Amino acid sequence: MANQVPVEEGLFTWPSDSPRLLGSRCVDCGNHMFPRQDDCPKCAGNNTQDVELKNKGTLWTWTIQGYPPKSPPYVGDVDPKTFEPFGVGYVELEDELKVEARLTLNTPEQLKIGMDLELVMIPLCTNKDGDEVVTFGFGPAD
């Protein structure tokens, strides 16, 4: 199996058997943010701490990317012959935030607002070193 590398450092714990998204929590007002940031847009303070976000949530809304995104910037498959539509949604992590993420499901029949989901890693492409580039996403919870 190819070595896996994250699409960007600092988005999720890596390497890890059970990765978690890395966010920030405002120490002053309790607001959560993803990805990590130093400033809080809710209270306009700059007193935040790093937190690992919940890895389970519920689907708040969704769509399906039905055509290949422009490349650049997209690094995944853009060949119209082989492109597979992919789901994108906001997943509500209780008491934290709704995170925008790719979804492993990609049909209207599979995707329902309110369904339970959990964090997974999604392969994007193979980089020039032969490593498999992965990003975070959500799939059906066990």
State in angstroms the smallest separation of the CB of 70 from other proteins: 5
Q: Is 123 in the site for other proteins (CB under 8 A)?
A: no
Separation of alpha carbons 47 and 39, rounded Å: 7
Q: Is 57 in the site for other proteins (CB under 8 A)?
A: no
Amino acid at 44: A
Q: Is 97 in the site for other proteins (CB under 8 A)?
A: yes
Residue appearing with tokens 């979804």: 103
Residue from 62, 53, 24 nearest 118 by CA = 53
Its sign, for the CA torsion 110, 8, 20, 44, is negative
Q: Is 120 in the site for other proteins (CB under 8 A)?
A: no
Residue appearing with tokens 């993803």: 34
Q: Which member of 79, 84, 95, 129 binds other proteins (CB under 8 A)?
A: 95
Separation of alpha carbons 140 and 78, rounded Å: 25
State in angstroms the smallest separation of the CB of 105 from other proteins: 12
* Residues at the interface with other proteins (CB under 8 A): 7-8, 11, 23, 31-35, 41-42, 60-67, 69-70, 72-76, 86, 88-90, 92, 95-100, 102, 108, 113, 124, 135
